[in-house]
A and B are shown apart, each in its own frame.
Chain A
Amino acid sequence: MILLEITSWLFITTGALLGIAGGIGIHRFPDFYSRLHAVGVTDTLCAALFLVGLALQTGFSLASLKLLLIFIFLFFSSPTATHALADAALMGGLKPLLDEDNGGNDLDRHSD
């Protein structure tokens, strides 16, 4: 029983840390598209970890089935919303920040 508590506690803390990482990422990244990446990644994974952690707490019951449903829906809808957002932003004329903009003085000049 204790093992179950510890694993669910582990899931929830990693989910919380990932959430905060996403929150920090949304402030530190220079450009909308990199911010979109930061939020899209951590959002989905943080939700997944939280829901699995909560499902461990509620054991085999209707509640964990509902949590699984939320997870499945978020698993499909969050990337779709992020994609629609990126598409709308690109259509709306928001240019991504490329390394040529700031003089292209990046170290790994792979884009010749």
Chain B
Amino acid sequence: MIFSVAAFAILVTISLALARAFMGPTLYDRILAINMVGTKTVLLIAVFAVLSGRTSMIDIALTYALINFIGVVAVLKIVEQGNFFTSGDDDRAK
């Protein structure tokens, strides 16, 4: 019973974050909201895994956490420097 309460709370948080993602004025608000949705989805998968007893699903949550982090950093890199290829800081000064 407690897990359904927790899952509902996580869904409420995700909907709040999605609302912020839609109406966020700046681009960085959107990235922040999507980062939050990603972390909450990790928790939702973990709660659902323990709720249904299928503990092998926790690997999915772990993989999702890894991918969410890489995704946020990748989006930030392409937003800030415009491309993936220059690894140095040379064109940040522009």
What is A's interface to B at a CB cutoff of 8 Å?
Answer: 8-9, 12-13, 15-17, 19-20, 22-24, 26-27, 32, 35-36, 39, 43, 46-47, 50-51, 53-54, 57-58, 61-63, 66-67, 69-70, 73-74, 77-78, 80-82, 84-85, 88-89, 91-92, 94
Contact = CB atoms under 8 A, between A and B. Distances in A.
Interface of B: 2-3, 5-6, 9-10, 12-13, 15-17, 19-20, 26-29, 31-33, 35-36, 39-40, 42-43, 46-47, 49-50, 55, 58-59, 61-62, 65-66, 69, 72-73, 76, 79-80, 92
A59 B39 CA distance: 23
Given A17-B9, A47-B43, A92 B79 contact: yes
Given A26-B33, A50-B46, A58-B50, A84 B62 contact: no
Contacts, number: 139
B58 A63 contact: yes
